[in-house]
Structure 1
Amino acid sequence: MNMFDQLLWVIFPYACLMIFVVGHIFRYRHDQFSWTAKSSEFIEKKQLMFGSLLFHLGIIPVIFGHVSGLLIPKSWMAAMGVSEHIYHIGAVYIGGIFGAMTLIGMLLLTSRRFTIRNVRRLSSASDLIVNVLLLFIVFMGMYATLFTNAVQPTFDYRESISVWFRGLFLLRPDASLMHNVPMSFKIHALTGFAIFAFWPFTRLVHVWSVPLNYVGRSYILYRRHKSN
């Protein structure tokens, strides 16, 4: 293990998480008016609707899959009766279906943002970067899940990546665990942390603004103005 490994698998993740936390606090305290996502629905609706629907229906199960795979130790899964075969089916096949939905959704949304002139003009540089980065992250996740696992079936990320990931939060980082990890998984992990560093400075902050008060809020009534 050398200094480069420490930089990639210890210093870089901690730096991204620090920027994520401090960046959110700073933006919320000093720039609350930008805590939103500019709507472009009035420019184009069809591609936005299908892309957004597929992305959101896919990304939520994908996130839960990452949480269970990274945070729950392999031994705990076995103790709960989840065998290696059942976990593999869930991770590859079920995860692959939702991953494909997420990827198609991101392809539609990214294509829309770059190819429709008025949508592109409404977009900031950070919007374009986030779209491309999210698309790349999802693509690499699909590639690692479907192709790398098929080429290297003996590789089990729960014995390396998951242990390394949990070690970061337990303040016991071990960069050596990532040494023999396939490159596709490494790229997916690094770009995943990179999006956390970008997060506070982009439209992604609107994820935290869940409009729960809308449930009990009275309807807004619009009345025609009677001119004299």
Structure 2
Amino acid sequence: MFEQFLWVIFPYLCIAIFIVGHIWRYRIDQFGWTAKSSEFIEKKQLMIGSIMFHFAVIPVFFGHIVGLFIPAHWLNAIGVTNHIYHLGAVYVGGFFGIVMLIGMFLLTFRRITNKSILRLSSVSDMIVNFLLLFITFIGVYATLVTNNIVTDFDYRQTISVWVRGLATFSPDAAVMQDVPLTFKIHVLSAFLIFALWPATRLVHAWSLPFNYVGRSYVVYRKHK
């Protein structure tokens, strides 16, 4: 029953909170839909950490999409063998994971060491910072360390199958039984951040400024 809760009930519960929570947040708190930038307090560490984190999170995201949702035999059919995929996942994914980890560490270190920023930080800000740092760390550790220790483990035959089962409403909790602990922790903590997402500053991720592409230039004139 505990395995069913972890790998069936808990993921769907987090997804439901993620969807309903965003609708609720948008309806009642549009003015709070912001990243709450603290750039005016400290800029240098924010710029370095933010650039590193956002630079790496995009390839990491798409790497997860490919690894979790595209079956191995589909990739084999277009010439991406297991060996090639493994090299890409470990070395390319590991590189971007480390960059993301360093960026998240800098952002978290900045938040807890700058007294002004710490004073303005809410409980949700601290939870998001430390949880994202932990998720990134455990993901990098699982990729670079666990994969080299448990050499016979292939997450595309276990975690990926389970994730695709979730997507088709037919998850099999038994698939996750033999998954190494670090990967399990990474998966569960990732679902947890999805559940917390609507109640935190992470909602700003959906506010992409697409209107800037087509808008007119702002004209500045010197006042005489």
TM > 0.5 between the two? yes
Distance 2:222 2:124 in 1: 40
TM-superposed CA distance for 1:219, in Å, is 3.5
Of the three residues 66, 69, 73, the one matched with 1:75 is: 73
Q: Where do 5+ consecutive residues of structure 1 fail to align? A: none
Give the aligned residue type for 1:205: V
5 Å matches for 1:6-155?
6-155=4-153
Deviations 1:133-165 (A, max 9, x none): 000000000000000001011100000000001
Give the aligned residue type for 1:171: F
TM-superposed CA distance for 1:88, in Å, is 0.6
Give the aligned residue type for 1:141: G
Distance 1:74 1:200 in 2: 33
Distance 1:147 1:90 in 2: 16
* Matched positions, count: 224
Query: Would you identify which runs of 4 or more consecutive aligned residues in structure 1 move more than 3 Å?
Result: 219-226
Query: How much identity, in percent, do the aligned residues show?
Result: 66
Distance 1:85 1:16 in 2: 34
Distance 1:115 1:56 in 2: 22
Deviations 1:9-37 (A, max 9, x none): 00000000000000000111111111111
Deviations 1:90-110 (A, max 9, x none): 000010100000000000000
Distance 2:78 2:214 in 1: 39
Name the counterpart of 1:170. 168
Give the aligned residue type for 1:50: I
Distance 2:85 2:213 in 1: 37
**Normalising to structure 1: TM-score of the pair?**
0.95
Give the aligned residue type for 2:194: F
Distance 1:106 1:93 in 2: 20
Q: Where do 5+ consecutive residues of structure 2 fail to align? A: none
What RMSD, in angstroms, separates the aligned Cα atoms of the two structures?
1.2
**Normalising to structure 2: TM-score of the pair?**
0.97
Distance 2:222 2:122 in 1: 36
